[in-house]
């Protein structure tokens, strides 16, 4: 079963959700992993500038350091920015967003070809060749490979697509673990509350029985005294 969401833009994910790159974990990962590449770009820029300044000002002397800089900088930028368009979002209860979720964690996937967000179920997903539309469909990794939607028009699974699916499946697994843990804690809490209620009811019943017993003991002699009078 696939739940469709009425949002037709990657930049407009479902309410109370954020795309992967905006999550707490992804932001921290980006900060940690981009320090060295950014430093490499800065060093490259400095070296190219020094090379340019050490030569007489000629067009030929300027072209080489500029080409060298872009040849090094562009691949680095593409690598550190690769997660910016990872096509899924999670709600605020997901472990990627919060260390202390307060409700059910959910994962939504963006189907770029279908132009819509879809709420995923608990099953892992994979890519499958679309015989009807061409490109690749997103399907559940079950016995029937239940179709979710048309994921991309690309005909081959690229490194970026594999990374997107790997991160998406990690998000699904984290959501399942969080929801299972929440359900277990809820069950434990319900069990504790049930035992507390049973204990309170038992204590009330015992107290009521003692009060009735005392009333009987007090009422007996008084009745005898009145009857004697």
- Residue 192 within a domain: no
What is the predicted pLDDT for the residue at 200? 60
- Residue 213 within a domain: no
User: Look-up: residue for tokens 């990374």?
Assistant: 163
- Residue 163 within a domain: yes
Q: What does the mean pLDDT of the chain come to?
A: 76
- Residue 195 within a domain: no
Domain that holds residue 32: 7-180
Q: Which residues contact 4 (CB under 8 A, 6 or more apart)?
A: 116, 117, 118, 119
Question: What DSSP string describes 178-204?
Answer: HHHHHHHHHHHHHHHHHHHHHHHHHHH
Confidence of residue 194 (pLDDT cuts 50, 70, 90): low
Per the structure, how many domains does the chain have?
A: 1
- Residue 100 within a domain: yes
What is the predicted pLDDT for the residue at 223? 44
Return d(Cα 171, Cα 120) in angstroms, integer: 11
Give per-residue pLDDT as tens, 25-75. 888 877 777 677 777 778 877 877 777 677 776 666 677 777 777 777 777
Of the chain, the percentage scoring pLDDT greater than 70 comes to 70
- Residue 206 within a domain: no
Give per-residue pLDDT as tens, 90-127. 999 898 887 776 788 999 999 988 888 999 988 999 99
**Is pLDDT at 7 greater than 60 in this prediction?**
no
- Residue 208 within a domain: no
- Residue 22 within a domain: yes
Return d(Cα 78, Cα 205) in angstroms, integer: 72
């Amino acid at each position: 079963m696939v739940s469709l969401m009425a949002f037709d833009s990657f930049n407009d994910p479902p309410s109370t959700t954020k795309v992967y790159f905006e999550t707490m974990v992804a932001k921290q990962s980006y900060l940690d992993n981009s320090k060295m590449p950014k430093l490499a770009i800065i060093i490259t820029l400095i070296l190219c500038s020094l090379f340019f300044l050490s030569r007489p000002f000629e067009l030929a002397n300027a072209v080489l350091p500029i080409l060298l800089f872009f040849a090094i900088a562009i691949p680095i930028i593409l690598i550190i920015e690769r997660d910016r368009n990872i096509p899924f979002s999670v709600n605020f209860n997901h472990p990627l967003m919060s260390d202390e979720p307060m409700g059910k964690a959910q994962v939504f996937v963006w189907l770029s070809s279908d132009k819509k967000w879809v709420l995923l179920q608990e099953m892992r997903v994979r890519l499958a060749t679309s015989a009807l539309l061409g490109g690749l469909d997103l399907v559940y990794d079950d016995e029937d490979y239940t179709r979710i939607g048309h994921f991309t028009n690309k005909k081959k699974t690229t490194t970026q697509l594999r990374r997107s699916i790997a991160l998406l499946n990690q998000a699904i697994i984290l959501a399942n673990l969080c929801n299972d843990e929440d359900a277990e804690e809820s069950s434990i809490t319900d069990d504790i509350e049930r035992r507390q209620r049973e204990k309170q009811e038992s204590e009330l019943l015992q107290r009521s029985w003692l009060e009735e017993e005392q009333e009987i003991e007090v009422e007996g002699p008084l009745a005898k005294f009145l009857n004697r009078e």
